[in-house]
Amino acid sequence: MTTEAKTEPAGTTGSCCSPTGSCHDGGPADRTGGITTVYQVTGMTCGHCEGAVSSEISGIEGVVSVAASATTGQVTVVSRTPLDEDAVRTAVDEAGYELAGQA
C-alpha cells in the first residue's frame, strides 16, 4: 500500500499560516481588518528599547501587533478598534519613554 503526501507549492494561500502571511506574525491576515496607527516615541535608542515599548503597548486590549523602530522613533500599531491615545501614552510611559503623538 502506497501513501502519497500532498504538498502545496510555495506561496500557496488559503491557510492562516501559509508562507505568504500568518495571522500570528503581523502578516496580511492582520492587516485586512485592523486599524494601523503610527506613533512617534522619543528616547528609544536600541533593540531593548523597541522591545520594552512593544511589550507595553501589546498589553493594551485590542492590539493585534506592534512594530517599534529605534532608528525612526516610530511605533506602528495594528489594532481591532481605534486606540485611546491616553492608554498608548501610559503604556509608553511605563516602558520609560515619551509618546510625542501620532506620526
Residue 60: give the domain boundaries.
Answer: 34-102
- Return the number of other C-beta atoms located less than 10 Å from residue 79's C-beta: 20
Q: Beta-strand (E) ranges in the chain?
A: 17-18, 21-22, 35-42, 63-69, 74-79, 98-102
Query: Is residue 48 one of the residues assigned to a domain?
Result: yes
Query: Is residue 27 one of the residues assigned to a domain?
Result: no
Highest mean pLDDT, choosing among 17-21, 22-26, 42-46? 42-46
Query: Is residue 65 one of the residues assigned to a domain?
Result: yes
Give all strands of the β-sheet with 74-79 in edge-to-edge order: 63-69, 74-79, 35-42, 98-102
Query: Is residue 14 one of the residues assigned to a domain?
Result: no
Element (H, E) at 10: none
Instruction: Quick: pLDDT tens for 35-93.
Output: 999 999 999 999 999 999 999 999 999 999 999 999 999 999 999 999 999 999 999 99
**Longest CA span, the chain:** 66
Query: Is residue 77 one of the residues assigned to a domain?
Result: yes
Query: Is residue 73 one of the residues assigned to a domain?
Result: yes
Give pTM, 2 decimals: 0.69
Does residue 26 carry a pLDDT above 80? no
Residue 76 has what pLDDT?
98
In angstroms, the CA 17 to CA 21 distance is 6
Question: What's the structural domain count of the chain?
Answer: 1
Residue 74: give its domain's CATH number.
Answer: 3.30.70.100
Query: Is residue 47 one of the residues assigned to a domain?
Result: yes
